């Protein structure tokens, strides 16, 4: 009886933990023309693009990013947004994330967006 209970507990626990991917996207806020992405512009981008790629939700954190400008030979510090989303791994979602990065760069005159993916075990209680 105890053996059956232990086996059932292991099966139930393993079902509640899903292997997924956590994606972090780092969006700089300085534009190449000298301007800065405003909160309204950022919120519009989230509403029009991010919510379609991550309909289950995402988290945004304010940050300060640093990068070395090879043309000016100095370290640049700029306000940034870090978008965090946990999702199932798929080719389609990966392409959608790449598209999200492309549109941000195009719309807001950016050189790059940093993407970091890592495998995670996600528990939803």
Domain layout of the chain by residue ranges: 22-119
> Would you identify the CATH topology of the domain 22-119?
Alpha-Beta Plaits (3.30.70)
Q: Name the strands in the sheet holding 74-87, side by side, starting at the edge strand that comes first in the sequence.
A: 59-69, 74-87, 17-28, 114-123
37 burial type by CB count under 10 A (0-12 exposed, 13-18 middle, 19+ buried): buried
**pLDDT, tens only, 15-66:** 456 799 999 999 999 998 889 999 999 999 999 999 999 999 999 999 999 9
Per-residue confidence band for 92, with pLDDT thresholds at 50, 70 and 90: very high
How many alpha carbons lie under 13 Å from residue 59 in its C-beta half-sphere?
A: 9
Query: Exposed, middle or buried: residue 29 (CB in 10 Å: 0-12, 13-18, 19+)?
Result: buried
Distance CA 44, CA 98 (A): 18
**Between 8 and 122, residue with greater pLDDT:** 122
pLDDT of residue 1: 53
pTM for this entry: 0.82
């Amino acid at each position: 009886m105890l053996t059956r209970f232990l086996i059932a507990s292991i099966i139930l626990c393993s079902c509640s933990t899903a292997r997924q991917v956590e994606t972090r996207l780092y969006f700089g806020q300085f534009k190449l023309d000298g301007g800065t992405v405003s909160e309204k512009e950022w919120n519009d981008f989230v509403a029009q693009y991010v919510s379609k790629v991550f309909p289950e939700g995402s988290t945004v954190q304010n940050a300060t990013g640093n990068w070395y400008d090879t043309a000016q030979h100095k370290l640049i510090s700029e306000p940034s947004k870090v978008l965090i989303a946990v999702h199932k791994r798929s080719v389609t979602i990966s392409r959608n994330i790449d598209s999200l990065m492309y549109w941000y760069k195009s719309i807001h005159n950016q050189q790059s967006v940093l993407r970091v993916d890592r495998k995670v075990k996600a528990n939803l209680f």
